[in-house]
C-alpha cells in the first residue's frame, strides 16, 4: 500500500495572543519525530512518503495537491488542536480512500474528528498499532495504545521519501539569525521520553504517563544523530531532568564512549550539584526550563511544584557550571500584580538568566485553567468543543481578561524583550 504521513500547515491555525512575534522568526525546523516514529514502525513492503507541511510552511492548497499527486491508499495526519481547521479541509479535499488522524488533538476529540471525515483515529501512541491496523484490514474506528517500555521501539529512521534530513540542520549562517549565535552549529533534535508526570494548570501536554528510554538507548540515539552529520543535539523532552540518577547515567555513558559534542535539553528548574557537574562534563551547554513565575503565590496556583528558592538554586548552579539558561515566563496569572511585573526584569537579571522568554497565560483546550474559566462563569460555553466540532479559520478564543489588562501584559512582554535582547 502507498502510505503518506503528514504534519499540518500553519494556515488558518488559531490566533495566538500569547507569544510575542519576536520569538516567531527562529529558523529552526524541528524534525517531525511523531510521524517518523510511526513511519519507522510500518512494514517495509509499504511505500511510505513523508510531507512536513508545518516546517516547510506549505499552504493547505499546496498540501492537498502534493497528497493527490502521490495518490496514497492511506493518508495519516498528525494533528494538534490549533490546526483543526487545516485538518478538516484536508480530510474533505484529499482524494484518498482511507484518511486517519493521530496526535494530541484526537486525545480529546476523537469522535469529533471522525465526524469531520476521518476513517480512524489513533489516541496516544500509534508507533505500534498503526502498522497492525494497516496489516489487518484497515477497519474504521477509534484506536488507543500506550507503550510502557519505549526501549522496545525501534530506532526512529530518518531516511524516507520526501524527507530531507539536511533541511533540519542549522548552518552557521542560519544560526546568526537565532538567539543562540554559534558558528558551525548543525543541530538535530531527539526525544528521550514520552509524556510528562506534572500537572501545571495551563499546560496542554495531555499525556501524563511518563515513560523514558534507558541511558544506553539515549546515547545510542545520540551517536546515530552524530553519524548523520550533527554536531549539536537538542533533547525535546518536556522534563529531561526529572530523574537525576538517569541524567547522571546518560552523562556517564556519553563520557564512557568518548563522545565530544554540544547538547541541550528541556527540563525543570530543579538541579543539584552532582547533576550539574555531570551535565557540564558531558557537554551540556544549555537548559530550557519553564520557570513561569518568580511569585510564590502564582507558582502555587500554577501547580508548578517548584519554589522561588529552588529556582534560585537552579540558576546559581547553572551559572557556576557554565550552563546557559533559557527560561520561559508566563504573564497574567489571576493573582499577579502590576508591581511584580515591574520588578520582574530586575529579578531575572539577579538570577543571571541569559535568554528569558515571555508568554501570556492562555486558556488552551482541556487545561485546568480553561476548565476553571468555564466553572467560574468567565466562559459561558465550551469554545474549544465547538471549535473541534466545526473548525473555522483563524479561530480566536475570547480574552479571559479585560482588554486593558491584555494590553498591559503585551506591553510588559515587549518591554522585557527590549531589555534583554535589544540592550534596553
* 3-state SS track over 214-245: CHHHHHHHHHHHHHCCCCEEEECCCCCCCCHH
Rounded Cα–Cα distance for residues 304 and 329 (Å): 12
Residue 207 has pLDDT above 60, yes or no: no
Mean pLDDT to the nearest integer, 269-295: 98
Q: What is the pLDDT of residues 103-149, one digit of tens each?
A: 999 999 999 999 999 999 999 999 999 999 999 999 999 999 989 99
For residues 43 and 189, state if they share a domain.
no
Give domain status of residue 373, yes or no: no
For residues 140 and 256, state if they share a domain.
no
For residues 119 and 200, state if they share a domain.
no
Rounded Cα–Cα distance for residues 77 and 126 (Å): 12
For residues 31 and 139, state if they share a domain.
yes
Average pLDDT of the chain to the nearest whole number: 92
For residues 258 and 349, state if they share a domain.
yes
Number of domains observed in the structure of the chain: 2
Q: Which of 199-213, 259-273, 291-305 has the lowest mean pLDDT?
A: 199-213
Q: Tell me, what's the pLDDT at 348?
A: 98
What percentage of the chain exceeds 90 in pLDDT?
82
Residue 177 has pLDDT above 50, yes or no: no
Rounded Cα–Cα distance for residues 130 and 114 (Å): 16
For residues 88 and 183, state if they share a domain.
no
The cell for 399 is 480574552
Q: What's the domain range around 263?
A: 169-361+400-421
For residues 123 and 36, state if they share a domain.
yes
CATH of residue 107: 3.40.50.2300
CATH of residue 407: 3.20.20.70
Give domain status of residue 384, yes or no: no
How far is residue 390 from each of residues 108, 356, 383, measured CA to CA in Å? 15, 37, 11
Give domain status of residue 160, yes or no: no
Mean pLDDT to the nearest integer, 76-84: 97
Give domain status of residue 242, yes or no: yes
Rounded Cα–Cα distance for residues 234 and 284 (Å): 10
Give domain status of residue 387, yes or no: no
For residues 268 and 332, state if they share a domain.
yes
Give domain status of residue 156, yes or no: no
Task: Looking at 242-335, list the stretches that DSSP marks H as alpha helix, in order from N- to C-terminal side.
Answer: 244-256, 273-281, 296-302, 308-320
Give domain status of residue 164, yes or no: no
What percentage of the chain exceeds 70 in pLDDT?
92
More confident residue, 166 or 2: 2
Residue 3 has pLDDT above 50, yes or no: yes
For residues 178 and 140, state if they share a domain.
no
**Final residue belonging to a domain, choices 145, 160, 184:** 145
For residues 107 and 181, state if they share a domain.
no
Q: Pairing mode, if any, of strands 211-212 and 193-194?
A: antiparallel
Give domain status of residue 414, yes or no: yes
Residue 20 has pLDDT above 90, yes or no: no
For residues 42 and 180, state if they share a domain.
no
Rounded Cα–Cα distance for residues 408 and 411 (Å): 5
Mean pLDDT to the nearest integer, 30-42: 94
Contact of 87 with 77, CB cutoff 8 Å: yes
For residues 322 and 261, state if they share a domain.
yes
Mean pLDDT to the nearest integer, 202-215: 82
| pTM exceeds 0.85, yes or no | yes
Q: Tell me, what's the pLDDT at 196?
A: 86
Task: Write out the H or E segment, with its range, that includes residue 188.
Answer: strand 187-190
Task: Write out the H or E segment, with its range, that includes residue 316.
Answer: helix 308-320
Residue 178 has pLDDT above 80, yes or no: no
Residue 424 has pLDDT above 80, yes or no: no
Predicted confidence band at 352 (pLDDT cuts at 50, 70, 90)? very high
Residue 25 has pLDDT above 70, yes or no: no
Q: Tell me, what's the pLDDT at 209?
A: 76
Chain Cα centroid distance, residue 324: 20
Amino acid at each position: 500500500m502507498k502510505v503518506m504521513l503528514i504534519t499540518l500547515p500553519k494556515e488558518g491555525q488559531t490566533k495566538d495572543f500569547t507569544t510575542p512575534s519576536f520569538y516567531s522568526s527562529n529558523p529552526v525546523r524541528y524534525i517531525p519525530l511523531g510521524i517518523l516514529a510511526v513511519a519507522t514502525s510500518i512494514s517495509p513492503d509499504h511505500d511510505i512518503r513523508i510531507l512536513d507541511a508545518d516546517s516547510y510552511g506549505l499552504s493547505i492548497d499546496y498540501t492537498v495537491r502534493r497528497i493527490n499527486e502521490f495518490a496514497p491508499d492511506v493518508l495519516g495526519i498528525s494533528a494538534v488542536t490549533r490546526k483543526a481547521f487545516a485538518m478538516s479541509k484536508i480530510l474533505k479535499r484529499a482524494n484518498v480512500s482511507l484518511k486517519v488522524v493521530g496526535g494530541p488533538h484526537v486525545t480529546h476529540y476523537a469522535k469529533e474528528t471522525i465526524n469531520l471525515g476521518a476513517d480512524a483515529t489513533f489516541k496516544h501512541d500509534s508507533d505500534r498499532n498503526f502498522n497492525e491496523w494497516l496489516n489487518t484490514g484497515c477497519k474504521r474506528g477509534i484506536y488507543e495504545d500506550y507503550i510502557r517500555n519505549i526501549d522496545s521501539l525501534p530506532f526512529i529512521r530518518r531516511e524516507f521519501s520526501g524527507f530531507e534530513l539536511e533541511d533540519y540542520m542549522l548552518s552557521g549562517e542560519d544560526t546568526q539569525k537565532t538567539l543562540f549565535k554559534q558558528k558551525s552549529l548543525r543541530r538535530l533534535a531527539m526525544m528521550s521520553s514520552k509524556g510528562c508526570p506534572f500537572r501545571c494548570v495551563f499546560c496542554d501536554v495531555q499525556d501524563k504517563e511518563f515513560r523514558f528510554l534507558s541511558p544506553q538507548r539515549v546515547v545510542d540515539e545520540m551517536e546515530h544523530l552524530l553519524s548523520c552529520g550533527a554536531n549539536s543535539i537538542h533533547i525535546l523532552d518536556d522534563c529531561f531532568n526529572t530523574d537525576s540518577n538517569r541524567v547522571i547515567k546518560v552523562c556517564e555513558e556519553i563520557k564512557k564512549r568518548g563522545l565530544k559534542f554540544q547538547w541541550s535539553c528541556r527540563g525543570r528548574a530543579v538541579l543539584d550539584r552532582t547533576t550539574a557537574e555531570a551535565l557540564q562534563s558531558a557537554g551540556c551547554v544549555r537548559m530550557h526550563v519553564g520557570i513561569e513565575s518568580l511569585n510564590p503565590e502564582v507558582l502555587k496556583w500554577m501547580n508548578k511544584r517548584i519554589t522561588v528558592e529552588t529556582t534560585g538554586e537552579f540558576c546559581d548552579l547553572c551559572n557556576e557550571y557554565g550552563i546557559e539558561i533559557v527560561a520561559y515566563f508566563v504573564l497574567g496569572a489571576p493573582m499577579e500584580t502590576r508591581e511584580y511585573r515591574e520588578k520582574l526584569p530586575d529579578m531575572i537579571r539577579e538570577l543571571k538568566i541569559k535568554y528569558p522568554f515571555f508568554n501570556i497565560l492562555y486558556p488552551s483546550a482541556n487545561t485546568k485553567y480553561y476548565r476553571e474559566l468555564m466553572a467560574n462563569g468567565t466562559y459561558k460555553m465550551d469554545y474549544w468543543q465547538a471549535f473541534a466540532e466545526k473548525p473555522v479559520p483563524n479561530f480566536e478564543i475570547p480574552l479571559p481578561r479585560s482588554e486593558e489588562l491584555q494590553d498591559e501584559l503585551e506591553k510588559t512582554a515587549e518591554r522585557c524583550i527590549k531589555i534583554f535582547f535589544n540592550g534596553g
